[in-house]
Amino acid sequence: MKEWRLLPKIEPNEELMKLGLNPLLLQIMLHRGFTTVNSINNFLNFKLDENLVLAISEEDKNGFYNPFIFKDMEEAVKLIITHIKRRDLIIVYGDYDADGVTSAVILYETLRLLQAKVEVYLPDRVSEGYGLNKMAINQIAQAGAKLVVTVDTGIRSKEEVAYAQSLGLDVIITDHHVLPEKLTELPACLIINPADTRNNYPCPFLAGVGVSYKLISALLIKSKLSPKQKQLLADKALDLVALGTIADMVSLLDENRLLVKKGLEIMNRNQRLGLNQLLFSAGINTAKDLEAWNIGWQIAPRLNAASRLSHANTAFSLLTTKDKEEARELAEELNRRNSSRQEITKEIMSQVEEKINQDNVPEIIIGVCDDDQAWNEGVIGLVAGKIAEKYYRPTLIITRLVEVAEFDSKKKKLIPKQVSFKGSGRSIPELNLIKTIEENAIYLDKYGGHPMACGFSLVSEEKLKLFIDRITRLVKEKLANVNLVPKIDIEAVLKKTDIKLDFAQYIEKLAPFGQNNSQPKFVSYNFKVEDIIVMGMENQHIKLRLDGFWAISFGGAKKYEDIKVGDRVDLVYYLEINKFNGHEGIQLKIIDLKLRQ
């Protein structure tokens, strides 16, 4: 049972009342922390602080923050230009998720158009793991490269950067992940990271692709291209900036919100061949403009499937190809991998749930594969996320990796001689997961992440046992006084007379929705069920007619199968506009429903 929490009403001051906003819309703005006329106007009109904005060219109407606010940006641009002029090989070193791939694509494409000699290196998720590694650095140096620019990775790669420098490589780190606690643990090179408070960058929660975009913006500003060319190149990258930003689930406030808005506009012009083909292969309706949820739920999972079951190069190739037949083949391959990923995720989740005491769910759920197993490490983060969401508990999923094995002729099987483990975690708002992981770093080989998600590795069964024991005790202490049930924060109670098309249009002005700018949730009481329609190829969706309004739950047919015509229900929902054949109507998207007694 989910806990419904109605957010408290905040009384607006006289100055805010003069704005003339719909009272319910004003209440939503106050709930989001916008308490001044200026902050509300800036949010609704997608405006940033004009004192911190720098145009890429005279053609620029976007109004993004000045990339040179980053303390190392000027030197980073100079270093890149030096290597371009020397015709040195530049390597863009990325990550294997959607944020990392899109980050790599936009920097690669821009550098190529600036006449750089550039290639991309994306590590293999399984054999190399996250971040810089010495094997890759050796390959890069042997290929004759002189500069490595990381995107979406590298902030904790002090040792690897030093090794690269010892081989004669220059290194620039662009990343957005949390810095090590001690600044002495940072790599000794140029660093562009909005999470580094020494920059005083006004939007500290850019995604990796957002940081990459700041770098290409700075390069374009310093280039000798015409104003029109600069703007075309900057705008060309924005579709992938929106994609990577949404996929990485960073805050959609401030500059990120503007980047996503502009990026969706570019994406809906259908200019990128690979994306168009992926939409077609996935059966996504392109007659309507794509929204943030299309990316988060339909596009990003398919791009992430590239590295989860094989290599991220497939996603990179799809986003950069100019060949229609290649785009079709790559898109279909990603679609197949995504289907396989769903099945593997389902199987591992089932194995984890078998070991959860449903009558006494612990404060932290830790799933470890059996001694004779090795779960696909590409999907353990997804499993952790689904378990965390279902049980409302921080969750760690850990798979076993056999590094060395010998064949036992008597037992006629491989016997592991050296074992290591990789883990992925997802959290709940009440627990800062990366901080908790950091408090147990003594047992870990590598780790990194955010308050809500982490990844880590460790060596030996003994360290695994100590890590599990310690983190279990620690989380139990931290969550001792927390009511561990899922909570739904509701903006307002809507009377049936409040549910109007013009109010739904006001709500649309708050989009794009995402982290820290969630789609507003409303509650209405005592609806009468007048009609029920089950839909979908597998009868998986359900529509309820409630006092004249249609409410829909995608995938909710089984969940609400006991609802009957004539029942009275209370409903938490999103208020949306259903656009069909040029007509607009109200639609309630069901979040939760309770049958009245």
- Output the CA–CA distances (angstroms, integers) from residue 210 to 65, 108, 217, 243, 538, in the order listed: 11, 14, 10, 10, 39
Mean pLDDT of the chain: 94
Q: Which segment of 207-211, 256-260, 414-418, 461-465 scores lowest on mean pLDDT?
A: 414-418
Cβ count near 405 (within 10 Å): 13
Asked if 90 and 138 sit in the same domain, the reply is yes
Q: What pLDDT is stored for residue 553 in this prediction?
A: 97
Asked whether residue 437 is assigned to any structural domain, the reply reads yes
Same domain, 82 and 125: yes
Q: What pLDDT was estimated at residue 410?
A: 66
Number of domains present in the structure of the chain: 4
**For 178-323, where are the alpha helices, taking DSSP H only?**
208-222, 227-236, 238-247, 254-267, 273-281, 292-294, 300-309, 313-320
What pLDDT is stored for residue 500 in this prediction?
Answer: 94
Does residue 50 sit in helix, strand or coil? helix
How large is the C-alpha radius of gyration of the chain? 25
Angle, helices 273-281/313-320, rounded to nearest 10 degrees: 120
15 and 163: one domain?
no
In the chain, what percentage of residues exceed pLDDT 90?
A: 87
Whole-number pLDDT of residue 222: 97
- pLDDT, position 404: 53
Domain boundary among 478, 506, 529: 478
Please check whether residues 31 and 58 belong to one and the same domain. no
Confidence of residue 367 (pLDDT cuts 50, 70, 90): very high
On the 0-12 / 13-18 / 19+ scale of CB atoms within 10 A, 534 is middle
Residue 191 β-bridge partners? 173
pLDDT band at residue 181 using 50, 70 and 90 as cut-offs: confident
In this prediction, residue 579 has a pLDDT band, given cuts at 50, 70 and 90, of: confident
Asked if residue 252 lies in contact with residue 516, where contact means CB atoms within 8 angstroms, the answer is yes
> What digits encode the pLDDT tens for the residues 372-404?
888 998 899 999 999 999 999 999 999 998 655
Tell me the average pLDDT across 205-224.
97
Q: How confident is the model at residue 58 (pLDDT cuts 50, 70, 90)?
A: confident
Both tokens assigned to 75 = 């030197």
Domain co-membership, 469 together with 533: no
Identity of the residue numbered 213? Y
Domain extent at residue 24? 7-44
**pLDDT tens, residue by residue, 541-558:** 999 999 999 999 999 999
Q: Which of helix, strand or coil describes residue 365?
A: strand
Q: Residue 287 falls within a domain, yes or no?
A: no
CB neighbours of residue 55 within 10 Å: 18
Q: In degrees rounded to 5, what are phi and psi of residue 467?
A: -60, -45
Residue 569 parent element (H or E):
strand 568-580
Whether residues 531 and 447 fall in one domain: no
Do 71 and 210 lie in a common domain? yes
Q: Which helix (H) or strand (E) holds 543?
A: strand 541-546
Residues 575 and 533 in one domain: yes
Last residue of a domain, one of 205, 237, 269: 237
The Cα 467–Cα 441 span in angstroms is 9
- On whether both 470 and 500 belong to a single domain, the answer is no
* Mean pLDDT for the stretch of residues 204-216: 98
The one-letter amino acid code at 383 reads V
Do 26 and 157 lie in one domain? The reply is no
**Domain-terminating residue out of 443, 478, 513:** 478
Beta carbons of 166 and 188 less than 8 angstroms apart: no
At a CB cut-off of 8 Å and minimum separation 6, what does 452 contact? 249, 426, 427, 429, 433
- Tokens representing residue 207 in the block: 């995604």
Residues 503 and 466 in one domain: no
Reply yes or no on whether the pLDDT at 417 is more than 80.
no
| pLDDT computed for residue 335 by the predictor | 94
Instruction: State phi, psi for 538 to the nearest 5 degrees.
Output: -115, 20
Q: Does a structural domain hold residue 272?
A: no
Residue reference for tokens 């190529």: 112
pLDDT number for residue 67: 98
Question: Per the omega criterion (within 30 degrees of 0), is the bond before 512 cis?
Answer: yes
- Provide mean pLDDT across the span 478-498: 94
| Inside any domain, residue 337 | no
Distance between CA atoms of residues 388 and 354, nearest Å: 15
Looking at the structure, do residues 402 and 528 belong to the same domain, yes or no? no
- Looking up residue 492, the CATH number of its domain turns out to be 2.40.50.460
Is 301 a domain residue?
no
Residue 518 lies in a domain: yes
Q: Has residue 232 been placed in a domain? A: yes
d(CA 559, CA 538): 14
- The span from the CA of 284 to the CA of 332, in Å, is 13
Residue 1 placed within a domain: no
**In terms of DSSP bridges, do strands 522-535 and 568-580 run parallel, antiparallel, or are they unpaired?**
antiparallel
